[in-house]
Amino acid sequence: MAVKTIQWKNDRVIMLDQRLLPHKEVYRVCRDYNEVAEAIRNMVIRGAPAIGVAAAMGVALGMLKAPEKTFDREFDRVVLTLGKTRPTAVNLFWALQRMRDVYSRNRSKGVESVKRALRDEAQKIFRDDIAANKQIGKYGASLMRNAKQIMTYCNAGALATAGYGTALGVLRALKESGSHFEVFVNETRPFLQGARLTAWELKKEKISATLITDNMAGYLMQKGKVDAVVVGCDRVAANGDVANKIGTYTIAVLAKRHGIPFYVAGPTSSIDINCPSGNDIPIEQRDAKEVSHLFGKPLAPKGMKVFNPAFDVTAQDLISAIITEKGVINPPYQPNIRNYVSY
Amino acid sequence: MAVKTIQWKNDRVIMLDQRLLPHKEVYRVCRDYNEVAEAIRNMVIRGAPAIGVAAAMGVALGMLKAPEKTFDREFDRVVLTLGKTRPTAVNLFWALQRMRDVYSRNRSKGVESVKRALRDEAQKIFRDDIAANKQIGKYGASLMRNAKQIMTYCNAGALATAGYGTALGVLRALKESGSHFEVFVNETRPFLQGARLTAWELKKEKISATLITDNMAGYLMQKGKVDAVVVGCDRVAANGDVANKIGTYTIAVLAKRHGIPFYVAGPTSSIDINCPSGNDIPIEQRDAKEVSHLFGKPLAPKGMKVFNPAFDVTAQDLISAIITEKGVINPPYQPNIRNYVSY
């Protein structure tokens, strides 16, 4: 893997600090679960599947030195702390649930067995995610084989996952299949995941890409410059509504107006079957400074009120298909999605 | 007027440098027409009506010291230079045409008469624009009197005109009428006219406003937070299609999906009856660095390809009404617009 988003190494969790990309490649070493929680909260690592992997590794790390006497209490504390970091991506809660299940299954074997099992499970979640991404890539590349001008949004790449990417995994697989295409990258304000992360990944991958500001997507579609859109997801509701990075909804509305297919790519760990619709997905509100400042400098007048929702919900009627590692889910989503649920 | 966008003073043209707002209020003094042309090109001054005023003042300034012997040749050169600064806003060409007409009408009276007439005309264009803005404000405030949550885009304020504003003129008039309302300001990438200029104007005016990134507009509409949208315009085609700042089209598509009225405000000098439709409006492409850099620092990886159209076209079917100083133009625009043409 060219991009090492997150690694488990010598009982440490090592993450590429995504806040400093594309200009600096700095790796952060987390020595305890609080550091992992902090890294998730501060977006050192981001992207729904990557957050899931980080949380699982955080649990394994947090329990390594837990004393036998307070082991159960410590486990609850670790899981609770990691579960409070970010509310929207369901992969976080999915990964924590997997860790809970492993804990329960192994608890009777003693704390050393539990520690080993948790560490193994975190690494399995890591490996499973890469395998899922590669399957998503295959299904997506087949679905989008004729698209020559592809738009993506935010970063659903190696940096958002254990290593290969969901939406960008599809682009990687397309390239591996010999297809030639151009990618339009929305910069994705306010955190600039498109300009900073997706642009960086596509450059490394030698995939031809053009950067635009988010408000230019409609213009490109008007001019016939977009054959298909593919994005990642933070949570898919039972009815097919999708929460993803703020602005995704706008791209989907524009795609609909122009008759352009709009694809969502993500592992089945992003499906939340207990969430009836997008209205039930909690949307994280982040710090005003992410909008009002850049490089620590103010963009707006001092004291300006700011609104900063980190995600929005794309209604299922705007989504052409959802690409998972188990196959492509087509509408109607309400019945079809149940065949693809992983928990 | 609190905001002095452009002034004619002691045979100099003085402009507030809008590139430095909201942090610094610096006035640039232009001593010849080339400096005016440069200021328009570099966006020291921007906004369709303000560009028109600046161009007219540039012509008057350029001819002040023109020698009698080469007077006609010099006039052509001045008009040509100013006409090449920016292609999309039709007010530039409308203002230059007014100056040409004055030139022709007065040429037989000798160069001193022409100089005086040009100077008078430039100042008349300035005064007429403020008067037109105030009328637009009146008509718009009546149309939008029940809107309590209003979205605007880019800057169509005092800074974009001779002094009162088109879209923001409507908001000023609404406030003067005693209405209470909240404004959502899109930051308007890449040049940030919303975050820098509109936020600054609304703050000065004590109108309650909240800043968002451009990709949050859809979320606010989904949540029922927007009763109406009002924006300015750079050119209105004969069929009612409107060119305005890049991203306007997206806001209009979103407004349509949510059944929210989308109003365009502008003087009739922005109507180009010789332009059959939006397809015929030239769209300026600007420097890649405006997208890839901010505060001189790169946002994206080095060498990243960038696309930077400065405007887009909003199709007439997305526009609820066009508010001019002569009244509100309702659909169908193709026949109705002819009654409001100013040249």
Model pLDDT for residues B330-342, shown as the tens digit of each residue:
999 999 999 998 6
Q: Judging by beta carbons within 10 Å of its beta carbon (0-12, 13-18, 19+), is residue A303 exposed, middle or buried?
A: exposed
Name the pairing type of β-strands B297-298 and A149-152: unpaired
Record: contact A211-B304, CB cut-off 8 A: yes
Record: contact B211-A254, CB cut-off 8 A: no
Nearest C-alpha in A relative to B201: A301
Query: How high is the pLDDT of residue B161?
Result: 97
Query: How high is the pLDDT of residue A70?
Result: 97
A229 inside domain? yes
Q: How far is CA A128 from the centre of its chain?
A: 15
DSSP code string of A6-63: EEEETTEEEEE-TTSTTT---EEEE-SHHHHHHHHHTTSS-SHHHHHHHHHHHHHHHH
Give CA–CA dist A324/A166, Å, rounded. 9
Does residue A316 sit in the same domain as residue A336?
Answer: yes
Q: Is the pLDDT of residue A57 over 70?
A: yes
Does residue A204 sit in the same domain as residue A319?
Answer: yes
Query: How high is the pLDDT of residue A111?
Result: 97
| Averaged pLDDT for residues B209-217 | 98
Does residue A57 sit in the same domain as residue A157?
Answer: no
First to last CA, chain A: 28
Query: How high is the pLDDT of residue B94?
Result: 98
B1 inside domain? no
A1 inside domain? no
Q: Which of A215, A258, A277, A316 to mutate to test the interface with B (most CBs of B within 10 A)?
A: A215
Q: Which of B213, B248, B293 to mutate to test the interface with A (most CBs of A within 10 A)?
A: B213
Does residue B150 sit in the same domain as residue B263?
Answer: yes
Q: Compute the mean pLDDT over every residue in chain B, rounded to the nearest whole number.
A: 97
| A218 → closest Cβ in B297, B299, B312 | B312
Q: Which residues of chain B neighbour A308 with C-beta distances below 8 Å?
A: 212, 216
CA angle centred on B59, ends B53 and B60, rounded to 5° = 90
User: How do residues B158-194 score in pLDDT, each as one tens digit?
Assistant: 999 999 999 999 999 999 999 999 999 999 999 999 9
Query: How high is the pLDDT of residue B342?
Result: 62
- Answer for the pair B301, A197: CB distance below 8 angstroms, yes or no: no
A92 inside domain? yes
Q: Which residues of chain A neighbour B306 with C-beta distances below 8 Å?
A: 210-212
User: How do residues B103-153 score in pLDDT, each as one tens digit?
Assistant: 999 999 999 999 999 999 999 999 999 999 999 999 999 999 999 999 999
| Averaged pLDDT for residues B242-254 | 98
Determine the structural domain holding residue A82 and report its residue range: 6-132
Q: Compute the mean pLDDT over every residue in chain A, rounded to the nearest whole number.
A: 97
User: At residue B24, what are phi and psi to the nearest 5 degrees?
Assistant: -135, 135
Count of domains observed in chain A: 2
Q: Which residues of chain B neighbour A189 with C-beta distances below 8 Å?
A: 187, 189, 213-215
Q: Which of A132, A162, A193 is the last residue of a domain?
A: A132
| B214 → closest Cβ in A189, A298, A308 | A189
Does residue B330 sit in the same domain as residue B208?
Answer: yes
Record: contact A305-B196, CB cut-off 8 A: no
Three-state DSSP at B315 gives: coil
User: How do residues B254-313 score in pLDDT, each as one tens digit?
Assistant: 999 999 999 999 999 999 999 999 999 999 999 999 999 999 999 999 999 999 999 999
Does residue B51 sit in the same domain as residue B99?
Answer: yes
Residue matched to tokens 């002691």: B10
Q: Is the pLDDT of residue B82 over 60?
A: yes
User: At residue B63, what are phi and psi to the nearest 5 degrees?
Assistant: -90, -10
Q: How far is CA B158 from the centre of its chain?
A: 9
| Averaged pLDDT for residues A63-79 | 97
Mark out the alpha helices in A146-281 (DSSP H runs): 167-176, 193, 199-204, 217-222, 248-257
CA angle centred on B68, ends B62 and B70, rounded to 5° = 75
- Confidence label for B343 from pLDDT (cuts 50, 70 and 90): low
- In the set A128, A129, A214, A234, the catalytic residue is A234
Does residue B222 sit in the same domain as residue B104?
Answer: no
Q: Which residues of chain B neighbour A249 with C-beta distances below 8 Å?
A: 218-219, 222
Q: Tell me whether residue A234 is one of the annotated catalytic residues.
A: yes
A108 inside domain? yes
Does residue B90 sit in the same domain as residue B190?
Answer: no
Give CA–CA dist A257/A251, Å, rounded. 10
Report the gap between the CA of A340 and the closest CA in chain B (Å).
Answer: 28
Mark out the alpha helices in B65-110 (DSSP H runs): 71-83, 91-106
Does residue B20 sit in the same domain as residue B128?
Answer: yes
Does residue A126 sit in the same domain as residue A149?
Answer: no
- Answer for the pair A34, A65: CB distance below 8 angstroms, yes or no: no
Record: contact B196-A299, CB cut-off 8 A: yes
Q: Which residues of chain B neighbour A294 with C-beta distances below 8 Å?
A: 294-295
Record: contact B214-A213, CB cut-off 8 A: yes
Record: contact A215-B247, CB cut-off 8 A: yes
Query: How high is the pLDDT of residue B2?
Result: 74
Q: Which residues of chain A neighbour B222 with C-beta distances below 8 Å?
A: 249, 312-313
| Averaged pLDDT for residues A281-287 | 97
Q: Is the pLDDT of residue A89 over 90?
A: yes
Record: contact B299-A195, CB cut-off 8 A: yes
Residue B19's CATH number? 1.20.120.420
Please state the length of chain B: 343
Does residue B101 sit in the same domain as residue B115?
Answer: yes
Nearest C-alpha in B relative to A313: B219
User: How do residues A243-252 score in pLDDT, each as one tens digit?
Assistant: 999 999 999 9
Report the gap between the CA of A16 and the closest CA in chain B (Å).
Answer: 16
Nearest C-alpha in A relative to B22: A301
- In the set B128, B129, B214, B234, the catalytic residue is B234
Q: Which of B98, B132, B166 is the last residue of a domain?
A: B132
Three-state DSSP at B240 gives: coil
Nearest C-alpha in A relative to B243: A219
| Averaged pLDDT for residues A166-189 | 98
Record: contact B215-A246, CB cut-off 8 A: yes
Query: How high is the pLDDT of residue A230?
Result: 98
Q: pLDDT over 90 for what percent of chain A? A: 99
Q: Which of A132, A157, A174 is the last residue of a domain?
A: A132
Residue matched to tokens 């008009």: B79
Nearest C-alpha in A relative to B308: A212
ipTM of this predicted complex?
0.96
Peptide bond into B22 cis (omega under 30): yes
Does residue B155 sit in the same domain as residue B220?
Answer: yes
B311 inside domain? yes
Query: How high is the pLDDT of residue A2?
Result: 74
User: How do residues A297-324 score in pLDDT, each as one tens digit?
Assistant: 999 999 999 999 999 999 999 999 999 9
| Averaged pLDDT for residues B98-102 | 98
B65 inside domain? yes
Q: Is the pLDDT of residue A343 over 70?
A: no
Three-state DSSP at A312 gives: strand
User: At residue A265, what are phi and psi to the nearest 5 degrees?
Assistant: -120, 130
A79 inside domain? yes
Closest residue by Cα to residue B33 from B89, B90, B103, B83: B83
Residue B245's CATH number? 3.40.50.10470
Q: Which residues of chain B neighbour A216 with C-beta distances below 8 Å?
A: 246-247, 307-309, 312
Record: contact B213-A250, CB cut-off 8 A: no
| B254 → closest Cβ in A188, A253, A306 | A253
| B203 → closest Cβ in A184, A301, A313 | A301
Residue B195 backbone class (left: φ over 0; alpha: ψ -120 to 50; beta: rest): alpha
Give CA–CA dist A161/B108, Å, rounded. 76
Query: How high is the pLDDT of residue B63?
Result: 98
A55: how many CB neighbours lie within 10 A of its CB? Answer: 33
Query: How high is the pLDDT of residue B338?
Result: 94
Q: Which of B215, B216, B241, B289 to mutate to test the interface with A (most CBs of A within 10 A)?
A: B215
Q: Which of A213, A254, A287, A295 to mutate to test the interface with B (most CBs of B within 10 A)?
A: A213
Record: contact B211-A291, CB cut-off 8 A: yes
